[in-house]
Amino acid sequence: MIDNTLLETFAALFVGRRSDYALQRENGRYVRVGARLTWAALRRHLGGTETIGTYVIDERGLCHFAVFDADRADGLSTLVELQGRLAHDGVPSSLELSRRGGHVWVVLASSLPASGLRRWLLPYCPAEVEFYPKQDEGSGYGSLVRLPLGVHRLTGRRYPFVTCKEGQVALVASSASVTLAWFATLERAHVPDEAVLPALARLGANQDQAPSLAQTPALPSPVSLATIHAWCDAQDPFALIGRYVRLDRRGLGCCPFGEHHADGCDRHPSFRVYPPRSSGGSCWYCYVWRRGGNVFDFLCLYHDLDAKTLWHRVLAGEVF
């Protein structure tokens, strides 16, 4: 069994969209699952029984990593040169081998709209190399990449992370399990201001309504809590509800339950998220609907689930 802390680190670094993912078929192509990513699915990926592709752009149009993909025999040398240029400009990166060539991963210290990420890092990309995200935010799910340490279904191989100095390639770790521990040491790239501000302008957000650029929260810990209240206490309401509602810096946003508003849509922010004052207590309220609740209540309403069904899904490890 993979240690929960290592699994959380892996997910925080490399999982993009949480509400959906894709599985690689035996021919190497991917098929969309149409369901939330679970901890059990991540364990199957790392165990080699299935291989996950993650959508780089998350539900809010944000990214917390970028990937340069050289899909050719001489791609490794190209990526090593690319790493050198990035390092010269203070951008740390990690090199992963692939079926043909390799991938350079740049993990961000703070999330960034896809347009800002492309504005910042795409100019580094050599002509023969692909850059992910391929699209700006607002273009649907966008492209996906294979999660690291997954067994490529076409070759049956698991591709490692490496370093390359003076033409010599060396593994960063002796096994997949040791690589998981090594991930915790990865240096994250700090996003320059000139990438952030134009990207927020593209989203049409002013400073008060900008989506949080704090580090994308890790996936919730696998549930080992006995009660719904205890589970609620372990959640960050701003991070969890913020995956579904764009909140400003004060926790205000447009209510997602539009059927309770006169015109069927909350066009003027009437929904507020705030820190709960007691265990399992309320953390959101709609001033028009005059109703609120805790994060569990929010998920029940948002997904149209009764409490028993939602709790079973939480216990099963579904990611919300």
Q: Can you say whether the dihedral through the CA atoms of 208, 209, 210, 212 is positive or negative?
A: positive
* The predicted structure's pLDDT at residue 222: 43
* The predicted structure's pLDDT at residue 285: 94
Q: What is the pLDDT of residues 35-75, one digit of tens each?
A: 889 888 999 999 999 999 999 999 888 899 999 999 887 78
Closest CA to 38 of 16, 18, 63, 58: 18
Q: What is the mean pLDDT of residues 97-124?
A: 92
Sheet of 30-32: strands edge to edge? 30-32, 22-24, 52-55, 144-146
Q: Residue 198: pLDDT band by 50, 70, 90 thresholds? A: low
pLDDT at residue 194 tops 80: no
**pLDDT cut 90: percent of the chain above it:** 48
41 φ/ψ sector (left φ>0, alpha ψ -120 to 50, else beta):
alpha
The more confident residue out of 248 and 96 is 96
Q: Residue 195: pLDDT band by 50, 70, 90 thresholds? A: low
| DSSP reduced 3-state for 195 | helix
Lowest-pLDDT range, 144-148, 199-203, 235-239? 199-203
Q: What is the mean pLDDT of residues 291-306?
A: 91
* The predicted structure's pLDDT at residue 206: 33
Q: What is the mean pLDDT of residues 172-177?
A: 89
Are the CB atoms for 276 and 237 separated by under 8 Å?
Answer: yes
Are the CB atoms for 215 and 107 separated by under 8 Å?
Answer: no
What mean pLDDT is reported for the chain? 85
What would the DSSP string read from start to end of 1-64?
---HHHHHHHHHHH---SS--EEE-TTS-EEE--S--BHHHHHHHHHTSS-EEEESS-TTSEEE
* The predicted structure's pLDDT at residue 215: 35
Q: What is the mean pLDDT of residues 127-138?
A: 92
The more confident residue out of 208 and 159 is 159
* The predicted structure's pLDDT at residue 216: 37
Q: What is the pLDDT of residues 304-320, one digit of tens each?
A: 888 888 888 888 777 66
Length of the chain: 320
Q: Which two tokens stand for residue 209?
A: 């309504």
Query: 278: which residues sit within 8 A by CB, 6+ positions away?
Result: none
* The predicted structure's pLDDT at residue 210: 35
* The predicted structure's pLDDT at residue 246: 85
Q: For each of the domains in the chain, give its residue range(s) and CATH number, in order of start.
A: 4-193 (3.90.920.20), 220-315 (3.90.580.10)
Which H or E element spans position 82?
A: helix 75-88
Q: Residue 226: pLDDT band by 50, 70, 90 thresholds? A: low
* The predicted structure's pLDDT at residue 104: 97
Q: What is the pLDDT of residues 247-286, one digit of tens each?
A: 888 889 989 887 788 777 888 889 999 998 888 889 999 9
pLDDT at residue 207 tops 60: no
The model carries a pTM of 0.65
